[in-house]
Amino acid sequence: MWVKHFSPFVQGKKMDRSSDEIYMRRAMALAEKGKGFVNPNPLVGAVIVKNDEVIAEGWHEYFGGSHAERNAIKNIENSGKDWTVAGSTMYVTLEPCCHHGKTPPCTEAIIEKGVARVVVGLTDPNPKVAGKGIEQLRKAGLEVVTGVCQEEIKQQNRVFLKYITTQRPWVVMKTAMTLDGKIATGNGDSKWVSGEKSRYRVQAMRAEYMGVMVGIGTVRQDNPMLNVRMIEGARQPIRIIADSRASIPPDSQVCQTAAKQATFIAHTDMAEAEQLESLHKLGVETILCEQIWKKEGKGEQVNLNDLMLKLGVRGIDSILLEGGGELNFSFLEQHLVDEVVAFIAPKYIGGRDAKTPVEGCGWERMADAMTLKDVSVERIGEDIVVHGYPHLSGYCN
Ligand SMILES: NC(=O)c1ccc[n+]([C@@H]2O[C@H](COP(=O)([O-])OP(=O)(O)OC[C@H]3O[C@@H](n4cnc5c(N)ncnc54)[C@H](OP(=O)(O)O)[C@@H]3O)[C@@H](O)[C@H]2O)c1
């Protein structure tokens, strides 16, 4: 257990708003440790403070596991020290639950153990909680402060917040291109556009989000595995492929490994029953989606809106969209992208047939361009990474 004196700035001082923020930031850092393990649950961290000293910490570690508040309380009880929770302040990033889910209500434990003050970051929008946890604590006579670091916690839990309020996955579009805007050479070679450090980052993103998605064009060209190789113990994402006719070659790597790593093929009713059956035999799950008419003579394709709904029903809260350009454009066009991470490698490959990160029929006027907000730029090794959120995302919180 990690217990340490953590409050050099507040020694001997009365608790005030700024010390609340310091402890809440610590709780947020703990919450972060659940990334990639708790989906579709929220990231939650808790810190218990008594006499200006952190006496215990906890976080929601994995889906179905104990909540942060109970983990923190348990950590005190297992510490072997004669600390008691009674009279303490608990900092928790998300409102404590008050209902019986996979675990008993946290409010019960908090009241029972005699916590005196609870500082909550964000009210839980889950209709089963939604302010009722805070109400229960107040009714039991505890002092409750809310909204500390609220905006940062909303940002940390953006995947959960979208999923719990819309039952649709949060979509992160990741692209990697050269300085001349290409994602592969004219003959389709794309290994590798970005440097090793960027590729490691992408692997970490695959472990963080529940699904990773590509179009059938990418499977045909690259025959990718779409797994996490560089990070030991990481959770493998569910692979999702948009393939209207379910025409994926059964000997592709994703099909051949479907029994070990979940693989979904999103198709329309154009798919042949025989082909679907042979995919099922390999362990591939097929999802029948509505069709959408595509321009440029592409005919009917998978209706991505319908697919998002169906993935949400399956408990998938987040998708890392890895292209290619045709699929990326469809996602953008339908306002289904919530976040963008664009890697730019300092190299040129040229070639008028070389593909770009977003293709499709495009928008006709510059004024119609899909623009990003809250843009930030980072260096990873030799590469530049642009991060932002599309102005026109179907979801606005
Ligand atoms: N550098 C990178 O970051 C990166 C990442 C990924 C891919 N790539 C490269 O990109 C190239 C492949 O890209 P691509 O654009 O040809 O293929 P793609 O986007 O991977 O796949 C497009 C195909 O997906 C199917 N699809 C089903 N529903 C769709 C929908 N609603 N909207 C759009 N497509 C839908 C369509 O085939 P059906 O009509 O048959 O269903 C469509 O032709 C490869 O060369 C690959 O190496 C590079």
pLDDT digits over 273-285, tens only? 999 999 999 999 9
Hey, which of 14-28, 98-112, 159-173 has the most confident mean pLDDT?
Answer: 159-173
Cross-strand partners of 241: 214, 265
Is it the case that residue 21 has pLDDT exceeding 70? Answer: yes
Query: What is the per-residue pLDDT for 5?
Result: 36
Distance 249 CA to ligand 1 centre (A): 15
Worst-scoring range by mean pLDDT, 92-101, 245-254, 282-291? 92-101
pLDDT tens for residues 120-129? 999 999 888 8
Query: What is the per-residue pLDDT for 296?
Result: 65
| Ligand 1 in reach of 216 Cβ (< 6 A) | yes
Q: Which residue has the higher pLDDT, 381 or 78?
A: 381
Distance 238 CA to ligand 1 centre (A): 18
Q: Is the dihedral of CA 212, 217, 220, 222 positive or negative?
A: negative
Amino acid at 7: S
Q: Which amino acid residue places its CA nearest to atom 17 of ligand 1?
A: 217
Pocket of ligand 1, candidates 275, 304, 355: which has the most ligand atoms within 8 Å of its Cβ, to mutate?
355
| Ligand 1 in reach of 175 Cβ (< 6 A) | yes
Worst-scoring range by mean pLDDT, 27-36, 69-78, 85-94? 69-78
| Ligand 1 in reach of 318 Cβ (< 6 A) | no
| Ligand 1 in reach of 134 Cβ (< 6 A) | no
Q: Which two tokens stand for residue 80?
A: 């072997």
Query: What is the per-residue pLDDT for 16?
Result: 56
| Ligand 1 in reach of 360 Cβ (< 6 A) | no
Question: Is 0.75 surpassed by the pTM of this model?
Answer: yes
| Ligand 1 in reach of 302 Cβ (< 6 A) | yes
The band of 68, judged by pLDDT with boundaries at 50, 70 and 90, is very high
Is it the case that residue 9 has pLDDT exceeding 50? Answer: no
Query: What is the per-residue pLDDT for 373?
Result: 95
The 10 Å CB-count burial string (b at 16+, else e) for 200-230 is ebbbebbbbbbbbbbbbbbbebbebebbbee
Kindly give, in sequence order, each residue whose CB lies less than 8 Å from that of residue 171, ignoring residues fewer than 6 positions away: 308, 318, 319, 321, 331, 336, 337, 338, 339
Is it the case that residue 109 has pLDDT exceeding 50? Answer: yes
Distance 240 CA to ligand 1 centre (A): 12
Q: Which amino acid residue places its CA nearest to atom 7 of ligand 1?
A: 324
Ligand 1 atom at shortest distance from the alpha carbon of 174: 3
| Ligand 1 in reach of 19 Cβ (< 6 A) | no
The band of 15, judged by pLDDT with boundaries at 50, 70 and 90, is low
Give the separation between CA 355 and CA 237, rounded to whole angstroms.
Answer: 26
Pocket of ligand 1, candidates 203, 216, 222, 358: which has the most ligand atoms within 8 Å of its Cβ, to mutate?
216
Query: What is the per-residue pLDDT for 80?
Result: 74
Average pLDDT, the chain: 91
Question: Catalytic positions, please?
Answer: 69
pLDDT tens for residues 316-366? 999 999 989 999 999 999 999 999 999 999 999 999 999 999 999 999 999
Q: What is the mean pLDDT of residues 223-232?
A: 93
pLDDT tens for residues 137-162? 999 999 999 999 999 999 999 999 99
Give the separation between CA 216 and CA 375, rounded to whole angstroms.
Answer: 30
